[in-house]
Amino acid sequence: MPGCFLFIHAIIKGLEGIIDRKEEGESAMQLNHKENLDRGERLPLSYSEDCLVLLPRDPRWIFAYWEVSPLTRRSIEQQAGAGWDGNRTILRVFRFEAGQEHGEEFFDITPGPLAKSWYIEVGVPGRGYQVELGYVMPDGRYELILASNKVTTPRDRLSDILDEKWRLPDWQARKLYRRIALSHLSSPERLRQEAALAPFYRDGRGDKILQS
Amino acid sequence: MPKGYLAFIFHAHLPYVRHPEHKRSLEEKWFFEAITECYIPLLRVFQQLESDGIDYAVTFSLSPTLLSMLEDPFLQGRYGDYLAMLQSLATREEERAAGDPDFAPLAQMYRQRLDHTAWLYNEKYGRRLVKAFQELQQTGRMELITSAATHGFLPLLGISKEALYAQLTAGMDYFESIFGYRPRGIWLPECGYDPFMEEILSELGLHYFVLATHGVLYASPRPKYGVYSPILTTGGLAAFGRDPETSTQVWSAKEGYPGDFNYREFYRDIGFDLDMESVGDFLHPKGLRSNTGFKYYRITGPGEHKEPYNPQWAAERAREHAENFMFNREKQVEYYGNLMDRPPLINAPYDAELFGHWWFEGPLWIDKLCRLLAEHPRRPVEMVTPGQYLEKGYPLQESTPNASSWGDKGYFEVWLNGENDWTYRHLHRAASRMVSLATDFPGAKGMLQEALTQAARELLLAQSSDWPFIMTAGTMDIYARQRIKSHLLRFFALEQQIRENRIDPGWLNALQSTDNLFPHLDYRLFQSHEVTTPVESQALQSAKTQM
C-alpha cells in the first residue's frame, strides 16, 4: 500500500534499504568475519565505576541508568553493618521549578535488585529534574550514594513568555558597525583619516579638497 | 521584493558502510543505490537548471560519513563496478524488451540514464562526485553545509561536552578539508537539539541550524512569527524551524504527491519479478533477490493490478504537482505576509534519499518547481538558502528553541527506548575514557598518536545515530547492534593497549584500513574542556595546520 508505506517512510526517513522489507540480502555482519578485528565478544557488563546518568526522553519521561562500584558498595555495607541488599536502593526524583536553585523532593522509586536503568514518568514538561540513588539503612536512615546530572524536559506547547527582543546576529552587527566606523567617523577622526589619505591626492584635486 | 521566501534543504546522509571483507554487502548497496537514484539525478537537475540559466537556490547538507564514502577510493571503485553491472543489465533488458510497445521505450530510458550516469561519474568527475557539488556551490546558487562527524544524536551524547564538540568540529574540519571553507550552517543530526548544546554551538563560528517545527514553535519567549522567521538562540545562531505545510504536502499518507497513480511503482522491480536466469548474475551470488532499479509499472491504483509506466504521463503529473506546490506557497506567503513585518520564510528540509529512489519523479518535480518559480511573471515566492536569507539583515527575535528532533513523536524516543537504551552506558563511558586519553597524552607522536586517532575514529563510528535508529525500526537491527558493539570493543581494546603501552601495530594497521574515515582527524578534539577551552583547541587546530 503506497499510502501506508509513505507514512511509515516519512516517519523513519531515509534509510531506504533498512525498511525495505521486501528486499532480501546479505548483511555484511550476519556473516562470520574471516578476520574479526574486534578484541573480545561482549561489551563489559559493568565498568566498576560509579555512575548515575539522567537523559530526557520526551516532555513527560526521563531515563536513568546507573552503576555502583564494588568500592562504594563496600563502604555502604560497612555503614550498614550488613551485606548489600539491592532491595534497599532507592531512586529519589527531584524537580526544579523555573528559576529555582534547589530541587524539591518529588517521589521515590524502588527499582529492585536487578535493575540498572529506569524510565521515570515525571509528567511535567519544561521542568528541571535530578535523581539521587540512595540506600535505606537498616535503621531506616536514607544514605545518598550517587547524584545524577540535571536535565530539563522539553516543552509540549507554546511558551507562555511573550517578551520580545529583536537584534541582528553578532556577525552581522559587526559588519554593520564596521561599515559605520569606516564611513561615518565623527569630525576630528574624519579629518585625521583624510590627512592620512592626503599623499594620494597630491596632484590636482586632492590638494584643493584639503585646502578648502 | 517577493512576498515570501522558500528555502529547500536536502539532507544527504548515509552511515559509514564499507565492507572490503565481503564481495557484496547489502549495506554498500544502500550507498550505490543512493548515488544512482538520488544524488546523481538531483545533481543533474541543478546542472541542467544552470545550463538553462534558471535562477534557483538550494541547500545541500552533506554528512561527513557520506562525504567520506564518496571520497573513498575503494568504494569509488566498487561503485564503478556496480554501475558497469547495471549497464550490462540495461543492455540485456533492451534486448529482452525489444519490440514491446510499452516496455521497449522504458528499457531504452533506463539504458540511456545509466550511460549518462556512468559518463558523469567516470569521465566528467573522475569518480569524485564531490566535484559536482563543488561546481554547483561555486555558482552561488547551491549552499553546502554539513552535519556532525558520524551523525551522532547530540542531545543524548552531550552529557560529555567534549563528545559534542568533537562530533561537530570533526565534521566541519572534514568538510573544510574537501571544500576549502567552513560551512556557515550545520545540520544537527535528526534535527536533534537540546538547549544545553548552545554553549558548544556558539564556539564554532556557525551562523545557523535547522530544527523540527516544534523546536522553534515551542521556543521561549514565544516566537512572534512562528516558524516563518528564524529565531536567534542564546548561542547567537539562527534557528530555522521546519514549515509543517510543505512537509505534509509532499509526504502526507492521503494526498502526498508520490502516491499518484501515474508515478512509478516502487515495488515492481525485475530483481523480484524476473526469473533468475535473466537477473541472477546481477543479484547476490547466493541468489538472494533485491531491487535492481529497473521498474516498468506505474502505481495504477490501490490493488495488485499494475499498468505499464508512462514517462510522459508521469512528467505531466510532476508538472501539475509543482504548480500545485507553487500555488500553495503563494497562498501561504500571502497569508503569513499579512501578519508579519517582513516576507515570511518557508523552510522546507527533506531527506535527499527520498527523491529519486522511492519517489522516482521527485527530482523532476524539483526541476519543474524551480522553473515555475523562476519564470513566474510576479515572482511572489523567491528561493533562498538560509545563508542568503540571513544576509538580508532582518533583526531576529531572541529565543531559546525547544528540545526536539524530527523523529517519530518529535523528541528523543526513537533514539532512547527499550531497544537501544543499553548503548548509552557504553557510549558515555567510552567518551569519558577518550577525553581522559586525549587529556593525558596531549602531544603524542608516531604510533601512539595513530592509536589515539584510531580510538577517536572508533568512538565516533559507534556514536552514529543510525545504529539506535535501525534498532528501533527493527529490520537490519543485527547489523546495527554488531556495528555499535564492534566499534566500542575496538575502542576499549585500543584504550587498554594505549594505557598499558603495548600497542599491537598489525592490528592497529588493520583497523586503520577498515575504519578509515577522516584521514586528518585530530584526537585532541576530545581534550577535556576543564583543561582547555574549545577556543583553545581550535587554536591548536590551526597551529597544527600551519606546522
Report pLDDT digits (tens) over B253-281: 677 899 999 999 999 999 998 888 888 77
Q: Rounded to an integer, what distance in angstroms lies between the CA atom of residue A6 and that of residue A151?
A: 35
Which of A21, A58, A65, A180 best probes binding to B when mutated, by most B CB atoms within 10 angstroms? A58
* Closest chain B residue to the Cα of A153, Cα to Cα: B403
Report pLDDT digits (tens) over A125-178: 999 999 999 999 999 999 999 999 999 999 999 999 998 999 999 988 888 777
Report pLDDT digits (tens) over B480-529: 999 999 999 999 999 999 999 999 999 999 999 999 999 999 999 999 99
What DSSP line would sit under B82-111, residue for residue?
Answer: HHHHHHHHHHHHHHHHTT-TTHHHHHHHHH
Touching check for A152 and chain B: CB below 8 Å?
yes
Q: Which of A73, A27, A21 is nearest to A46 (CA)?
A: A73
Report pLDDT digits (tens) over B49-86: 999 999 999 999 999 999 999 999 999 999 999 999 99
Touching check for A3 and chain B: CB below 8 Å?
yes
pLDDT at B538: 57
Q: Rounded to an integer, what distance in angstroms lies between the CA atom of residue B153 and that of residue B429?
A: 16
Average pLDDT, chain B: 94
* Closest chain B residue to the Cα of A156, Cα to Cα: B218
Is 60 exceeded by the pLDDT of residue A202?
no
Q: Rounded to an integer, what distance in angstroms lies between the CA atom of residue B102 and that of residue B290?
A: 24
Task: Give me the residue label for grid cell 543479484.
Answer: B283
Q: Which of B230, B337, B322 is nearest to B3 (CA)?
A: B337
- For residues B310-314, give the mean pLDDT: 98
Q: Rounded to an integer, what distance in angstroms lies between the CA atom of residue B163 and that of residue B165?
A: 5
- ipTM comes to 0.93
Q: Which of A66, A26, A20, A27 is nearest to A47 (CA)?
A: A66
pLDDT at A23: 44
* Residue B347, SS3 per DSSP: strand
What DSSP line would sit under B137-148, residue for residue?
Answer: HHTTSEEEEEE-
β-strand partners of B514: none
Upper half-sphere CA count for residue B255 (Cβ side, 13 Å): 7
β-strand partners of A67: A51
Query: Which residues in chain B touch residue A117, judged by CB atoms under 8 angstroms apart?
Result: 421-422, 425
Q: Are B187 and B209 in contact (CB under 8 A)?
A: yes
Query: Which residues in chain A touch residue B33, judged by CB atoms under 8 angstroms apart?
Result: 16-17
Query: Which residues in chain A touch residue B236, judged by CB atoms under 8 angstroms apart?
Result: 169-171
Q: Where are the alpha helices (DSSP H) in B446-524?
A: 446-462, 466-473, 477-499, 505-514
Q: Which of B387, B375, B367 is nearest to B50 (CA)?
A: B367
- For residues B468-486, give the mean pLDDT: 93
pLDDT at A11: 36
Q: Rounded to an integer, what distance in angstroms lies between the CA atom of residue B98 and that of residue B152?
A: 49
Report pLDDT digits (tens) over B402-456: 999 999 999 999 999 999 999 999 999 999 999 999 999 999 999 999 999 999 9
pLDDT at A5: 31
Touching check for A146 and chain B: CB below 8 Å?
no
State how far the alpha carbon of A206 is from the alpha carbons of A190, A196, A202, B218, B375, in Å.
Answer: 15, 12, 6, 59, 49
Is 90 exceeded by the pLDDT of residue A181?
no
pLDDT at B113: 97
Which H/E stretch holds residue B366?
helix B362-375
Spell out the residues 6+ positions from residue B485 whose beta carbon is closer than 8 angstroms to its own: A38, A42, A43
State how far the alpha carbon of A51 is from the alpha carbons of A149, B208, B402, B459, B492, in Å.
Answer: 10, 35, 27, 20, 18
Q: Which of A92, A161, A98, A164 is nearest to A126 (CA)?
A: A98
pLDDT at B476: 84
- For residues A63-88, give the mean pLDDT: 96
Query: Which residues in chain A touch residue B393, judged by CB atoms under 8 angstroms apart?
Result: 168, 172, 176
Query: Which residues in chain A touch residue B357, judged by CB atoms under 8 angstroms apart?
Result: 16
Report pLDDT digits (tens) over B186-208: 999 999 999 999 999 999 999 99
Q: Rounded to an integer, what distance in angstroms lies between the CA atom of residue B215 and that of residue A154?
A: 9
Q: Are B159 and B73 in contact (CB under 8 A)?
A: no
**CA-derived radius of gyration, chain A:** 32
What DSSP line would sit under B288-343, residue for residue?
Answer: -----S---BB--SSSS--PBP-HHHHHHHHHHHHHHHHHHHHHHHHHHHTTSSS-
Report pLDDT digits (tens) over A101-114: 787 888 999 999 99
How sure is the predictor about A68, in pLDDT bands with cuts at 50, 70 and 90?
very high
Which of A4, A16, A171 is closest, CB to CB, to B358? A16
pLDDT at A12: 38
Spell out the residues 6+ positions from residue B152 whose beta carbon is closer than 8 angstroms to its own: B163, B167, B189, B460, B463, B464, B465
Q: Rounded to an integer, what distance in angstroms lies between the CA atom of residue A117 and that of residue A63?
A: 7
Which of B219, B267, B511 is closest, CB to CB, to A37? B511
β-pair type (A61-67, A51-58): antiparallel
Query: Which residues in chain A touch residue B486, judged by CB atoms under 8 angstroms apart?
Result: 29, 37-38
pLDDT at B393: 94
Which of B21, B155, B492 is closest, CB to CB, to A34? B21
The neighbour count for residue B52, using CB atoms within 10 Å, is: 11
Helix axes B40-51, B130-138, angle to 10 degrees: 30
Which of B413, B426, B492 is closest, CB to CB, to A57? B413
Q: How many CB pairs under 8 A join A and B?
A: 245
Q: Is B398 a catalytic residue?
A: no
Test A169 with B159 for CB contact under 8 angstroms. no
Q: Which A residues in the span 31-60 are in contact with B, Cβ-Cβ below 8 Å? A: 31, 33-35, 37-40, 42-44, 47, 49, 51, 53, 55-59
Test A9 with B266 for CB contact under 8 angstroms. no
State how far the alpha carbon of B30 is from the alpha carbons of B18, B33, B34, B254, B510, in Å.
Answer: 11, 5, 6, 27, 25
Q: Rounded to an integer, what distance in angstroms lies between the CA atom of residue B12 and that of residue A13?
A: 11
Average pLDDT, chain A: 78
For the record, the C-alpha cell of B336 comes out as 503569513
How sure is the predictor about B533, in pLDDT bands with cuts at 50, 70 and 90?
low
pLDDT at B43: 98
Task: Strand A61-67: give its sheet, edge to edge.
Answer: A51-58, A61-67, A117-121
For the record, the C-alpha cell of A44 comes out as 563489559
Name the phi and psi angles at B417, rounded to 5. Answer: -155, 180
* Residue A145, SS3 per DSSP: strand
- For residues B361-388, give the mean pLDDT: 97
Q: Rounded to an integer, what distance in angstroms lies between the CA atom of residue B7 and that of residue B386?
A: 7
Q: Are B32 and B82 in contact (CB under 8 A)?
A: yes
HEC states along B17-76? CCCCCCCCCHHHHHHHHHHHHHHHHHHHHHHHHHHCCCCCCEEEEECHHHHHHHCCHHHH
Q: Rounded to an integer, what distance in angstroms lies between the CA atom of residue B104 and that of residue B90?
A: 11
Q: Rounded to an integer, what distance in angstroms lies between the CA atom of residue A186 and that of residue B120?
A: 58
β-strand partners of A121: A61
Dihedral sign computed on CA atoms, order B174, B180, B182, B185 = negative
Touching check for A162 and chain B: CB below 8 Å?
yes
pLDDT at B287: 74
Report pLDDT digits (tens) over A185-197: 556 665 666 666 5
Which of B23, B260, B416 best probes binding to A when mutated, by most A CB atoms within 10 angstroms? B416
Q: Rounded to an integer, what distance in angstroms lies between the CA atom of residue B122 and that of residue B77?
A: 10
Least confident of B15-24, B32-41, B62-71, B122-131: B15-24
Looking at the complex, report in whole angstroms how far the Cα of residue A135 sits from the nearest Cα belonging to chain B: 22
- For residues B105-124, give the mean pLDDT: 97
Test A167 with B398 for CB contact under 8 angstroms. yes
Query: Which residues in chain B touch residue A34, judged by CB atoms under 8 angstroms apart?
Result: 21
pLDDT at A206: 37
Report pLDDT digits (tens) over A12-60: 333 333 333 334 444 555 444 445 788 888 999 999 999 999 999 999 9
Which of B17, B407, B416 is closest, CB to CB, to A55? B416
**CA-derived radius of gyration, chain B:** 24
Looking at the complex, report in whole angstroms how far the Cα of residue B465 sits from the nearest Cα belonging to chain A: 12
Spell out the residues 6+ positions from residue B518 whose beta carbon is closer than 8 angstroms to its own: B64, B68, B149, B170, B173, B174, B457, B460
Q: Is B466 a catalytic residue?
A: no
Which residue in the list B334, B351, B477, B504 is annotated as catalytic?
A: B351
What is the CA angle B144-B234-B468, rounded to 5?
Answer: 60
- For residues B239-264, give the mean pLDDT: 90
Name the phi and psi angles at B264, rounded to 5. Answer: -70, 140
Query: Which residues in chain A touch residue B17, judged by CB atoms under 8 angstroms apart?
Result: 28
Query: Which residues in chain B touch residue A42, judged by CB atoms under 8 angstroms apart?
Result: 485
Q: Which of B249, B251, B244, B352 is nearest to A6 (CA)?
A: B251
What DSSP line would sit under B503-536, residue for residue?
Answer: --HHHHHHHHHHS---TT--GGGGS-TTTS-HHH
For the record, the C-alpha cell of A76 comes out as 555502604
Looking at the complex, report in whole angstroms how far the Cα of residue B53 sits from the nearest Cα belonging to chain A: 31
Q: Are B464 and B15 in contact (CB under 8 A)?
A: yes
Which residue in the list B28, B33, B190, B466 is annotated as catalytic?
A: B190
* Closest chain B residue to the Cα of A164, Cα to Cα: B397
Test B473 with A37 for CB contact under 8 angstroms. no
* Closest chain A residue to the Cα of B418, Cα to Cα: A119
